Structure 1
Amino acid sequence: MNTSGINHKEADMNIFKKTAVRVVAIILVAATAITLTISFLLFQRDKLPSSDTAYVDFGCLLEEGDEVTVEKVTPAPVDKDVEIYAFDFRLSSGQPDGAIEIIIPYSDKGLKEEEELLSVCGKYLNQETNEWEDVFYTVDTEANKVHIITNHLSTYGVFKITNPGKRSEYISEVNVYAAYMTDSRARAIVQAFAEQSDSWQENAAAAFLETTDTLRYFAAANAHTFFSLGEAYDAWVTKPFQNFMSGLGVSTACAQLACNAYNNGFRSAETTFTAVKSSLDIAINFATPSIKLAYLSVGMIDLALSDVQTFAVANKYKSTKNMYDAYYKRKENSRALNDWRTLFESYYKKNKDNPQLVLDMMRAEIDRYVNEYWTVAGTDWESWIDAYEKNGKLSKYPWPVKKDRENISAIHKSQLYEYLNSVFRTMCRNMYLDSLIEREKEYNKLADFYNTKFSIIIQEDKDKGEKSTWAGCYARLAPLSSTADPSSWTGKLNSDGGGTITFTLRAHLKAGFPMTLELYRTSADIKSGKKLKSVTLKSFSENTQTVVLEPRKVNQTEETEPASSEDTDSSTPTSVPPVTKEPVKEANPWYDVTIVSLDNTNPKAFAGWYAVLEYPKDMHVELEDMLAMFDNTGKCILRFQKSDYEALESPSKIWLYQYKEDLLSKKKPDVIVSFSLSGSYSGKYSGEPLYTILVKAKPKGNKDDILNSISGDYSSYMIRAELFIPGEGMMQIDKKEDYEPWEKPSAEVWLHYNGPSLTLKSYSDPYLTEYVLEKFSDTRYEITYQNGTTTVTHTVEIISVGHRAKYTFLSETEGGQRNLSVYILEKK
């Protein structure tokens, strides 16, 4: 460690991110596939059963005349503890037009049954770099086969890692997590998401942590501590973290549902399938890309299993039915499986954000197709009879009444659904691959967020040129978890008495969220616990926080030891000073005051509000440091020490504000609640007693009724537009314009207040898409989602409840293009 600062560097977390394609679902599945008979040689020492071979399930993607080649290859070894089963897969026509499934067998010799799932993985050999890369795969330990989902043919293999200590080198641990995501757990997570209850995010994340056994990698004692980041960070950190965690849980659950739809949908128990569909029917109202994919996958199975009611064709219409069947056998009218697949996938590609529309379009096209004959032939029925049978009589080919026409079409439809099963399954496989890609995005978001860096800057309050009194002392963050390395969190202050502690969010989490800065004179004092000073850190409200140390007195004693006689005047060595005891340190306890609504029927009455201790009007106070925000469940915790309380002249009231601006501008509180400093002892915090106090505040009027007035139709007009397209010189566009009220009238908008969310819909949208915006406060609602490589954000800010609002649309591409539009909404 150098003297310029304290640096704590956490290695990049390969638990959550390694390469561009890193996330793998390891789910026990049984796949039915087309077996390609090939011959291959023995591989390694273990002989594979002769009946087992690698093969590819193309579904309905193979065109007539396509030839598939599967050849066993022997790649260069990567490790003596890794056995590789590799094959090269080729298609005569090039690459497949969609997702395929590659099945590669392996030998489980030398693997314990309970370890097999964690010791086998699928890999792809990059021909350009000659490096093995991760793929999306599942392991069937019963059949000893690895199933790889991809849309590209090349060289693929199975790695069997026989040394448990080397698994993490080849199998990212995050890939193992999804192995334990069951269908029932997935439905529970989606159900929690669909219900949008007060604690749905924590419930979904907790279920994910429990299912994937993730919590043991961190020092958090329980899911709540983990989810709240130990209350060491303000909402600007915890809120995105909670969004990423719950998003990861939901996307993993949806990937499992998409997997189940692909592998088992055509033979699932009706009750199980209905339960999944019911949950997704609700969840689609709060659609994320993962929810949409799962919804479409399950909806496709629902479509494939449609129960078509038919009855026997009446004798007099049998000839007519034969003529009907002949129409669809004509070359110009018949459709091959790939024709149907191409048509259905065009619906999907154009309408990915609206899965219900895709399903409706597919169902409508099938209905149109089976009824097409009646529309065409009905224009000149006698000519159609004559074309089918020269001089055919109308008595032999009567025009059926409506119910008989519908029955003949229904019979064809029933046969068509069965014929299209391979199309539906192929498309489900595409949905499954897309859902794995969406899940990977969620993993990457969380991985990036875990690697966010935070710093504590230590400075001594001294004049320039003045000698430092803290130089050479040691600083450490505490308390540390049992798994944390104390030396990584300890450093020596520089010659100016300063330094910087830098760490990642993940490192802080694994260390147990230490939030006390301890200062020691020597390294020996660290071991004996002789602290010079302890400083309780504030929750991080930005990436850095600064601790300013007052100059240390020369004879300052340690917190835990009496004054040393070595600091006496050396001019009187024979004089032994009297030994005095250190004064008894007066306790300076902490208090956690939890504020909730008095109205049990309206527990979230204060969600998004702010609280602050009463303070003398003529006193200068740092309100930003004193205030606390109510969370979305309507709960707030004010934490302070007795010394802080007494500095405010021992207040007996807490002031509540609906708007932060009103609090900071020292306006009259919206609600005032009384409290006393008597509470329940709850242990120690930073070495001092901790007491908890519960305060119930009466809501001001019926706030929910006021917010309900947000709902309704609004007229709108644009007030600002920005467009930025990066480029060289004249090719770059950077345009910004402001408009006067009603200079740029826009579409009518519908808003609906839902309590924990706000629904937004524009009547100019041909699909009338409803966006559900998350509630950040009573006046701010927002949703952010990915549309391909574009990040889209919708924000609504309430200017006057029930009258005016501001709507902001923002889209930003990975290439740097930015489009911003701001509108004023006025209620009609």
Structure 2
Amino acid sequence: MIAAFEAGFEAINSVVGNTGTAVTAITLGGQYEGALAEALGSGSQHLGLALAAVQTCYDFTYSFSDDQGKLGTLSNLVKNIANNAVGYFGSAALQVGFAGVAVFDVVLSTVQSDMMELKLENLGGVYQYYNDVESPRSVKEWRRIFISILRENADDTETAQQLINQEIDSFCDRFWSLDYGKVKEIAAVSGLKYSFDERQWTKDREVLTQQYRGYLMAHLQAPLTSARNYLLNQAMEQAQREFEKQLLAMQKELNKTVKVQIIEQPEKAGEYKYEGYTVRFAPISSSADAKSWTGKMPKGGEMNTSFTVLGHMQSGSPNRLELYPAGKDSPEVTVSFKVSYPTTTILISSSGKEKPEQQPPIESSTEPSAVPETKPKPEYAWVLVETINENYQANIDNTNKGGVYEVSASASPGSYTSTWKYIGDTDTYPDPDQINGESFATQLTFSVPPTVIKGGETVSLSFNLAFTDDNLSYFDGTGSARADWGNVKFTNAAKKSHFEIYSSVKYSSKSVKSIGDTISAVIPAGYSEGDREELWIGGTGYGTYFVYEWKQIS
């Protein structure tokens, strides 16, 4: 761990001014002992790790590579630093941020920029319309999903990467799980030309899915990069806080004042040999003030002085005491010593022989030790800070612009409505007839979530979804309901998380005109103060993001 020591002292090089000597004094020379040596050693190491964490976050935030070899090296480096830093600091933000680098950079390296545009035809066009217009997933929601996966799997980057790819694959596969009647409805709503039948409509599934996935990955660069940098910025903030904390702790150790007792031990009581001798600490650096480290041995054979740990380091970390007779340039006596806190005692024998080092006395007290006051542990919870209603107005405007369908949607916390109407020409060729004016409307009501949610708390929500207008012939009507907390899905007693209503004349046996239930989820605790998470409540075409922040509440 010498590198960590060196990094720690490099961080305060402008203060110490003699990094090499200081590192040698602590790591190799053994010039400090006892609790002081332990504090300086661990403090230097922690400071170095904190500095490395800050530098790592900074480097990876402003650089991205798609070179597979570099990504492998980067991943190993990130894991190594994360394991060391998290081991010392116990910081989830650091671990999640470093995991984000290891995972997102690998995923991003597979993106083909030439796939930004895609125009599939026939069934492929309907498939793309469903994913991009009929049932899209916003950049914000993708970003939320990516962040949630990383937070829940920060200690296993391979699993996190697999889950991200599974989430993308699942999105691309949704269309193929629809029944043929729903696919035909989407095709009609899309306004695209199409020709496919019920028996073979899935025959090109693999090719179309692969093409669309490449196109989707290109569009996921933004949420992937945003999630990556968001987690890294959180890690950088945490690393900076740790660095400042370790720097202050190190500063406290460096500013400690050490009392020094220089005591002559005469062979006969009262016969002191070194009275008037020049006393010098050695070796000292060329930049040190020599006079500050020089004195005269007084009567009585005892000399007292002091220095700070920082001053000792800046002056070259002297580790021996030299005594010079008057007018002499060479020391008559040299005594080695180690610095201990709070008092360093240096014993000098009148015979000129070096005395064994004296261990600092163990301080004792007859006074009862004070019982520290126990402060209540701060309590944290998710606090509602923002509510965002979403009705995908851009999609509504795009559909209405075509002049074939007239749609609308409204969203407010706990209450959502949608309408759909066919305003194209009547066509009696299909069976049943395609009739101008056929329509449907839905209403979804949800209980509003609490404004404060504690980590580990179970939140239950009740909902009801029904058709408020059902005037259909050729087309089918649909509506859906769900609630998600990040990657955590709210489920009913049967573990079902997605609920739909369906109305069809042709497939009337499959119709479900209304549905209601209570769904619940256990809300996980936040990682660090300031974390944000979103609770989505709604369905296809409308919903609300309830934005929560992890805050101290007591």
TM (normalized to structure 1)?
0.35
Higher relative contact order (CA closer than 8 Å, sequence separation 6+):
2
Indicate the structure with greater helix content: 2
TM (normalized to structure 2)?
0.49
| Bigger-Rg structure (1/2) | 2
